[in-house]
Structure 1
Amino acid sequence: MRAATAAALLLVATGCGSGSGAPETAAPPAFTAPERFTHPGVLVGGAQLAAVRAHVAAGREPWKSAYKAMGGSRYASLDYTPHPAKVVACASNAGTDACVAEREDAIAAYTQALMWSVSGDRDHAAKAVEIMDAWSGTVKEHTRDDADLQTAWSGSSWARAAEIVHAGYPAWKGPEVQRFKWMLRKAYLPEVSAAVPDHNGNWELAMADAAIGMAVFLEDRRVFEDAVRRYRARVPAYFYLASDGALPKRPPGGTIDTADELATYWFGQRTYRDGVGQETCRNFMHIGYSLAATAHIAETAWHQGLDLYREQADRLAAALEFHSRYQLGETAPVWLCGGRIERTMGPDVEVALNHLQGRMHRRLPQTAKLAQSQRPGGTDDLFVAWETLTHAANPTPA
């Protein structure tokens, strides 16, 4: 079913703090979406973009190398050609060529937007607009089994690209912008709002990532609040803390609740320690997706005045340090996935590290070491792109 999830939503605002590492609370503060949205404010804020420009202009590392890597990618080429499709049909672990083209075109639009923001070259802004206009004038629907995940991955990049361009490039205006907004509402939001309670948790986190980004660009308070609700329900059910009890929290709204069902859902894991994730024993690639999406949601909320990081700081820090340690090569104990893990995490930790270490002043030595080893972080060709450039040591205030 593609119906949007409903909403008895938690309301009323909290201010954004600097973060002090306070422990999680059982009942997070209620929140109402901002009366006025801040732009640009989807994953990357205006102050962060200004900091990146200053670092690159001064030739400072790691931003200099990160910008060079981005500029040398095919996504940054002014000859980049979009390949829009009317119907994007993505079957499980497969799909049409349009599935790959859509994800890559969305990342290209975001890359071109960043190139324009850093360099000031309006040709990059025009290229971002060309790509976005091509898709908004063509795509009508997403179909097949992976439609929700496909729209999450591509939709998150579309929202980031549109937000940067619309906030500062006056040539993109009027009917073209409205058509792009209509595309997001009709061809993306229904999919990323679908109920997926018993799917692997990376799905719902990626979907909420896309939804909150679109909500900010569209200035839609209801969609924003629903994404916050999904974050608050899914993150505690995905990353374990001992305070949860003997068993992990069950997937929100799902049917999985017994010890045996949870162990199966957690890919055979029956010993639960701080930081272990629902897909740890599947592979670290999907854990990386979930760490990135969790941070993306919290970062976008931060730029809109809501500190979701603080609510899950202990959980997120534990998950980052746990998986970074093993991604860096530490031998897995027998109790963890039978001693067999797949160290396939991508460039997924910069955003969370920037907040927890840079704003909350927490020590995350394993995560910092992993981030350093991956710099300059590129793109996973799905929904993570150039986060060394945008978020390495960039703890600007909301």
Structure 2
Amino acid sequence: MLKPPTPTWPRLATALVLAAVLAACAPASRVSATADHDTVTAFHHPGVVIGGSQLDAVRKRVRAGREPWRSAYEKMRTSRYGSLAYTPHPAEVVPCPPNAGPPSCLAEREDAIAAYTQALLWSVGGDEAHARKAVEIMDGWSKVMKEHTEGNAGLQTAWAGSSWARAADIVHAGYPKWGAADVQRFKWMLRKAYLPAVTAKVPDYNGNWELAMTDAAIGIAVFVEDRELFTESLARYRARVPAYFYLGSDGKLPKPPPGGTMNTPEKLATYWFGQRTYADGLGQETCRNFMHIGYSLAASGHIAETAWQQGVDLYGPTAERLRAALEFHARYQLGEAAPPWLCGGKVERTMGPDVEVALNHLRNRMHLKLPETEKLAERQRPAGTDDLFVAWETLTHADNPGRGSAV
């Protein structure tokens, strides 16, 4: 599948004005839950994938030595990302060509995960040294980072950008020693070096791209308090998730990605990696490998969870689709033999630690039954990180619905 072209910079003209008034933005309260009225009146912080009441619950469970949270915390604390000796490697330009990449590609993703890890260690464990380390990493990048280049810029900015937004939102919400000027510089970096790529239109590319890009975009929208970007991200989720995960109610064929050219039976079969029989929960990349399905499940969960923290219920209209996708892929990831109609009887069982966020909502808030997904989550616990954009989600989301809810 082709990669997206080097992105244009459609937001740059307005970004200068927006950056100048970021500090004056009204503080936040509620977002409406309907597609027709997704107007942000204010934002909740922390509220990028994880909310304050969930962090409170994690703190209490870890300090009480409860499992699996205690083991998950220890896995995070003893990881290389959790070391106070961690050394970031900021770069002015990060070039990421398809199927390859120089060391700066890997370093950026790892540094973003390290910043998020340090933010969690500070929030849960209380040691201010971890907050300082998170700030050191983020400030190091915001002082030099200018742009991403080459064909994988969209994915690189999506993976790193989603972790940066989570880290920054936690630290800024509770650590006043991160100076205002440094915070504004970090916000400007996200606007200049990330948003143009993650908001590019890529309807004909594999769906994990657009879902990961939207994960980063909605997280950045919350952190920088960009109402327009938040609304655009909601719309992108609502369009892409039904085009990525199939349900029988869609008809004989999957929904084509809106705005793209994959709109005939033959084109759709090619786009779905040769699959011509469609069953509830099947994904556009199922016959490619489960690794990319996992990315898409994780990104979908992140987007819907961030919206939920801000008062918008994206989960509800897609709950059955997400439940079917989780159960379908968990069953085969756990070892069930693939039938001949599915990918010619061969599936690549390479899913990562990708199910905790969506499972938490569907089971613990909506009380749906997901027995196969529960088995998979329990087998993976305590889940670590995929070194891309998923990190420590047993710790943050296992059986942790929190107190907040969408309107």
TM-score band, normalised by the shorter chain? over 0.9
Task: Give SS of 2:94's match.
Answer: strand
Q: Distance in 2 between matches of 1:386 and 1:328?
A: 21
* CA distance in 1 between partners of 2:229 and 2:281 (Å): 29
Q: Distance in 2 between matches of 1:326 and 1:364?
A: 14
The one-letter code of the counterpart of 2:289 is N
Q: Relative to 1, partners in 2 of residues 1:256 and 1:380: Cα closer, same or farther, differing over 3 Å? A: same
TM alignment of 1:214-253, pairs within 5 A: 214-253=220-259
- 2:182 equivalent in structure 1: 176
Identify if the C-alpha distance between structure 1 residues 13 and 123 changes in structure 2 by more than 3 Å, giving closer, same or farther: closer
Aligned equivalent of 1:141, options 122, 125, 147? 147
Mark the CA change 1:196 to 1:361 in structure 2 (over 3 Å): closer, same or farther: same
Which of 318, 329, 332 does residue 312 from structure 1 map onto? Answer: 318
**Cα distance per residue 1:28-51 (max 9 Å; x no partner):** 742323211000000010000000
Contact 1:34 1:305 in 2 (8 A): no
Residue 346 (str. 1) matches residue 352 (str. 2): yes
Q: 8 Å contact 1:327–1:343 — kept in the other structure?
A: yes
Q: Which amino acid aligns with 2:322?
A: L
Distance 1:275 1:92 in 2: 29
Q: In structure 1, which of residues 112, 115, 124 is the aligned counterpart of residue 118 of structure 2? A: 112
Runs of 5+ unmatched residues, structure 2 = 1-6, 12-29
| 2: CA distance, partners of 1:194 / 1:206 | 12
Matches within 5 A, 1:197-276: 197-276=203-282
C-alpha distance in structure 2 between counterparts of 1:29 and 1:180, whole Å: 30
Structure 2 CA distance for partners of 1:13 and 1:112, relative to 1, 3 Å: closer
DSSP 3-state at the match of 1:371: helix
Letter of the 1:373 counterpart: R
Residue number in structure 2 paired with 1:388: 394
Residue equivalent to 2:17: none
Structural RMSD (CA): 1.1
One-letter amino acid of the structure 2 residue matched with residue 246 of structure 1: K
Return the offset for 1:88.
Answer: 0.2
1:158 maps to 2:188: no
Q: 1:286 to 1:4 in 2, by over 3 A?
A: farther
List aligned pairs for 1:348-367, cutoff 5 A. 348-367=354-373
Kept in 1: contact 2:198–2:216 (CA 8 A): yes
Query: TM-score of the superposition, structure 1-length normalised?
Result: 0.94
8 Å CA contact 1:4, 1:195 repeated in 2: no
Question: SS at the partner of 2:37?
Answer: coil
| CA distance in 1 between partners of 2:50 and 2:211 (Å) | 18
- The whole-number CA distance in structure 2 between the counterparts of 1:31 and 1:326 is 39
- 2:372 aligned with 1:379: no
CA distance in 1, matches of 2:284, 2:106: 27
Mapped to 2, the partners of 1:190 and 1:299 lie a distance apart of: 23
| Alpha-carbon shift at residue 96 of structure 1 (Å) | 1.2
TM-score by length of 2: 0.92
| CA deviation map 1:273-321 (0-9, x unaligned) | 0000000000000000000000000000000000100010010000000
Amino acid paired to 2:399: A
Is residue 32–residue 40 contact of structure 2 (8 Å, CA) maintained in 1? no
Output the CA distance in 2 between the equivalents of 1:101 and 1:373.
29
Matched, 1:123 2:143: no
1:13 positional shift: 5.6
Matches within 5 A, 1:55-66: 55-66=61-72
Structure 2 match to 1:20 = none
Tell me the residue number matched to 2:299: 293
SS where residue 142 of structure 1 aligns? strand
Q: Which AA in structure 2 matches 1:394?
A: N
Aligned residue identity for 1:336 = L
Q: Which amino acid aligns with 1:42?
A: V
Mind listing any 5+ residue stretches in structure 1 that lack a counterpart?
A: 6-11, 16-27
The letter for the 1-side match of 2:92 is K
Q: 1:316 to 1:116 in 2, by over 3 A?
A: same
Deviation at 1:93, TM superposition (A): 1.2
Q: Deviations over 1:247-279 (max 9, x none)?
A: 000012101111010000000000000000000
- The equivalent of 1:51 in structure 2 is 57
The answer to whether the 8 Å contact 2:204/2:261 transfers is: yes
The equivalent position to 2:74 in structure 1, one of 68, 72, 83, is 68
| Aligned residues of 2:273 and 2:284 also touching (Cα < 8 A) | yes
Q: How does 1:20-39 map to 2 (within 5 A)?
A: 29-39=35-45
* 2:115/2:138 contact within 8 Å kept: yes
Identity %: 71
1:323 to 329, 350, 372: 329
TM-aligned CA deviation for residue 95 of structure 1: 1.2
Aligned to 1:397: 403
Pair 1:279-2:275 in alignment: no
Determine helix, strand or coil for the equivalent of 2:213.
helix
What code does the residue aligned with 2:361 have? H
CA–CA separation in structure 1 for the residues paired with 2:137 and 2:45: 21
Q: Secondary structure at the match of 2:194?
A: helix
Give the paired residue count: 380
| 1:245–1:3 distance in 2 versus 1, CA, 3 Å | farther
Distance 2:350 2:62 in 1: 30
Q: 1:367 to 1:4 in 2, by over 3 A?
A: farther
- After superposition, give the CA deviation of every residue in 1:144-173 in whole Å (9 maximum; x if it has no partner): 000011000000000000000000001002
